[in-house]
Each structure stands twice: as C-alpha cells, then as structure tokens.
A and B are shown apart, each in its own frame.
Chain A
Amino acid sequence: MKRSLTLEIALTHLLTKRKQTVVAMLGVTFGISMFLVMISFMTGVNDFTKNLAMEEAPDIRIYNPLEIEKNTIIAKAAPDTTGNLYVVHHQRPKNVVPKLRNAIMLAQSLEAMPEVKGVAPQVATQVFFNNGPIRITGSLQGIDVKKQGELFTLARKMDAGELIDLLGINDGVILGYGLANKMNVGIGDRLSITTSEGSILMLRVVGIFSYGLADFDNARAYATLATVQKVMQRDPSFITDLHIKMYDNNQAKAMAATISKRFGVHAEDWSTANAPLLAGESIRFAMTGIISFTLLLVAGFGIYNIMNMNIINKLKDIAILKATGFESRQIVGIFLWQSAIIGLLGGVVGLLLGYGFCVALSHTPFPGGSVVRIATMPVNFNPQHYIMGFCFGVITTVLAGFFPSLKAAKVDPVQIIRG
C-alpha cells in the first residue's frame, strides 16, 4: 500500500508535467538508440572485415619461412672465440627450399589430432599471367580441391563456374574476379602462365571467384596441386603450405605452439598473421564504448538536471508530505520512481528506435568501390547489445535520479513551511 502510494504520487507528478517528462525520456531514448546504432554498425563492420579475412585464411599455417642463418660457418669451424672476433657483413639468406618435408605424413598426423577439423595442403608460387601482350604478376595456388572445398569458403565464392570443375579437365584454373577482368578472359578461354624459373604452361579458365577483397580478387588464381607441381617441375610430394582449420579457432595460438614443438616446423596462427586487423578491431571497439558511454552520460546529466528542477518546484509538496508523516525513504521513493519510469519508458522507446535505425542502415547501399564488394552497410543484430543498452540506460537514469532524490529527502519542512 505504502509503496504503491509513492508510485501513485510519482505517476501523478509525471503526468501533470507531461512535456518535461517527454523531454527527459527523449534524452534516454536518443542515448540508447544511438548507442545501438553505433555498436551494431561497429560490430557489423568488425565482423565483416574479420570474416573477409578469416573465412579463407587458415587458423594455422605451416610453411618454411626465409631465415638468416645465425651461426656463421667460420664460427663452426673455429668454435673457440678467445682472442678472436668474427664479423660477417651482409650475410646472404640461406637457400631455403619452400618444400615442407614429409608434408603428406605430417598432414595425416595433424588430422588425427582431435582439435583439428582438417588440413589442406597447398603449393603456392609466384607467376606471370599472360594473355597476348599483357603480363600480370600474381600468385598461383595449387590446392587439394576436395579438402579446400570442405574446409574453406572458396566453393561458395564462385561468381562463375564451380570449384569442382577443376577436377574435370587437365590444367584448369580458377581466376580472381579482378584478374579475369584485367586480362579480359572468361570461362573456356585460355591463358598462359610463366614461372620465375621460366617454364610456361597453358591453362583453361574454368571458374571465376570473388571474395570481395581486392588483394585476393586481383592477383590470385587456383589450380590443382598436380598442375602447379607440373609447372614448377616438382614431384607430387612437393607441398609448400599446410592450411589447418580448427574446430575452435580461439585455440589456434596454443595449438600452433604445440605443433611447432612436436613436429619442428614453423606454424603460424591466425591472430599472429592478422595482428594489425585485430588491433584495428579492438581500437574500433574502444571508440564505440567511449562514444556510447558519453551519449548515455549526457542523457544522465539531462535527467539529473530535470530531476533537480523538479524537486525545487516541489519543495512545498515535499514539506507537506514530511509534515504529515512521510519518511525519508518514501520521499526518495517518489522521485526515484519518476526517474525509473522515465528510464524504462525512454529505454523501451530507445530500443525500438535503435532497432528501426539499424534496419534502415542495413538497407542503405554501401559504396564499397572496387576494394570491397558489398551491397549494403554491414549491421550486426545482436540481442546482447539491446539488453546491454537497455540496462545501461536504466541504470544511468536511476543513478541520475538518485542523488536529487536524496536531496529531496533532506528538505527541512520547517524552513519551507515558515517561508
């Protein structure tokens, strides 16, 4: 009864000052809806770029990196350094054969590990793509068509033709969308490639892929392992990369370390390979957080001001309520209810408005140009953001109303009544 009495007084106050109530509510509404738009768009962009880079990227990549031999040969010949000083200027890198030793065996034992979803072997090499007088550099990747299709998204990124068509003919090739455009070739056309060693091979275009990332689409082509091994004049055991997909890619870092240690190979996980991308993501996230927090804080200050004004206007009422026996906590209750109602109503409207903005944004065309191919703005619809925005909004309003309410409870009725 008593609690509903404070609620009743609070509601009456709100309803008689409708305009003021609506203004206070709008503060919360805009705060929350802008927060939602910001965070949905930000995480949308984050997810989009991450997917773009991650979908085709392996969780762990095993390859032979170029390394400078730290131990000079002269130091090996005369290990006793007392009185000697070896200085070797401009040491050349060792001739590292990109071939992974025992790659097929290694792939098999990796696939036996429970955390590993699958291993796709690759042969990667730099080539010139020639069509008539045009020579374009790019990379040609020999893939295990079946494994690649299972583990990565290439099959779903085909603009024309099918990934499986590679298996249908000898020396087929799938070109990136940009690369095919530059050379003006389509399905069924032929082009030749030249390796750095000088060997030449004619390939027939069987498909065109597009990831939406210029780096890939303008300079990459896929062929079967056998085709690439042939043009490089290598035997079928020649594998340069093993691309590993994990069931849980968050374990990749630990797994990469385990693999390096156990098999004595160079294993690089996705977070190391894409460190700048991840850094960008956390910076964007921090920015979103700061701006959203500021928005809600401003709304909170607005409510603080309105509640303060409200209480100054209601000093007489507070005095009479105290004189007739209302206790401090009930006075606090009256004003806290008001800010809570403002927060709840403003929050609900803010959620709806924010959702509306997000829907509108997700239908807005995005001028991606030739760098990324995307039709509309990437917007993330995550219910967690809505819950978070609502809670933040209500907590801010209640806090903003709490301190003025405490002040109201401290009003000395004698001073007000005596004037």
Chain B
Amino acid sequence: MQNPLSEPDPSSKLPYIVKKRLHNALTGIGEASRLIAETIIQIFKPPWQFDLLLKQLLLIGYNSLSVVLVSGFFTGMVLGVQGYIQLKPYAVEGSVAQFVSVSVVTELGPMITAFVLSGRIGASITAELSTMKVTEQIDALEVMGTNPVKYLVVPRFLACSLMLPTLTIFSTFAGIFGGYVAVVTLFDFNGDFFILQVQDHMVIRYVIISLIKATTFGMAIASVGCYKGFSISSAGGAEGVGTATTGSAVTSLISILVLDFVLGATLK
C-alpha cells in the first residue's frame, strides 16, 4: 500500500504553480514590452545600418516567397472548393469569387503568411539569437560597444514589419488565383465572371485592413522571436535553445490569433 506521506498531494501545489506561472507570464510580458520599446527608440537613433536591414529583407522576403505563394495558392483553392460546395445548395454559388477574395484579403492572406513566417522566420530568429547568447556572442557585442538591440533586433523587426505586408500581397494574389483555378477547372465556373466579381467586391478598406494586420503580425513575430532568443540564460545550452525555439513558434502563433481577433474587432 502506498504511504500517503511519501507523495505530496498534487492539489496542494496547484496555487503555487498557478502563482508562479502567472508571475512568469507577467514578467515575460513586461520584459518583452521593454524590448519592443527599446527597439522602437533604436530605430530612430543613428547610425542606421542599411546593409543589415537589406540582408534581413532578403533572408525573410526572398527566401520565404515560394512557400508563401504555394500556401496562399492552396488556401485559395480550398476556399474556392468549399465555398462553391457550401453556397450551391442556396443557389448563390455565383458569389464564390466574392467569398474567396474578401476572405483571402481580409483574413487568410495575412494569417497564412504570418503562420508560415512565424514557423520559418520567428523560430529561426530565436534559434540564432539564443545560440548567440549561449555562446557569449551577445556579450561580445556589448563589450565591443555595440548595442545588441540596435544591431540584432532592429533589422529583424523592421524586415519582418516590411516583408509581412509585402509577402501578404503575393499570398493574397496567389490565394485569389488558387480560388479561380479551383472553381473554373473543377466546377466549370465562368472565369471572366469570377474576375468581374472580385473587382466589384474588392474595396480599398479591405486592402488597408489586410496590410495593417500583416504589419502588426510582422512586428509580433519579430518581437516574440527576438525576445525568446534574448531571454534564454547564458547557461541554457542546447536544451535551452530548443526550448526557446519551440516556445517562440507557439507564442507567435497564439499572438497572431489574438491580434487577429483584436484587429478584426477594432477595424470593422
């Protein structure tokens, strides 16, 4: 028979665990906010190192373009197929182009692009910065009189904030094209009518909402990636890098979903 004294009652630990997690979460939010504030201050302080920004723009933009296009295209195809099937029983399948284009522009374009980049770029930023922290490279930067936030965070933050909306434009076009291909080839939908419907129902407000969302998601991905990379302990080692990278991907995804809801509600 098990001795009741040998195993502490797990329920007695619960308040402690909840308190500790809450404390860690609030500390994390505070530290991340401070990092974002310092990043914004450093953006406006000379000297500006455009070579570092260009490198990040290429790394984030050019290298992610193909995966964003493919993701956008297939998302559009799925929307086209599902939209057509769901609308047909009500005899309004003619609105499928409106359904696809408005959904892709306002929601799925920025979301899919942000999801792809949070996994690809956000995690890679965290892995790179946390490895630099563990191997004392960030300490080395500081000793050499270089501000790590300015040198490492600012180019990544700006590049993500600029490339997310740019890639979202590509993703959105790919999505609408995907929807077009799906309904035209699978359901013999009139292609000219599809294009006409997209033109008729697309308003500039949707595009602005899409770009605001994409820019905000870009800032969030870079901030979470950099914060998770910087917050690792120097003694964290390989395990710490792995944990930080996983945490970064998960936190980015959740942040994107929360921000999407907040922006969706406020930019109605």
- Asked if A and B bind, the verdict is no
Interface residue ranges, B against A (CB under 8 Å) = none
Interface residue ranges, A against B (CB under 8 Å) = none
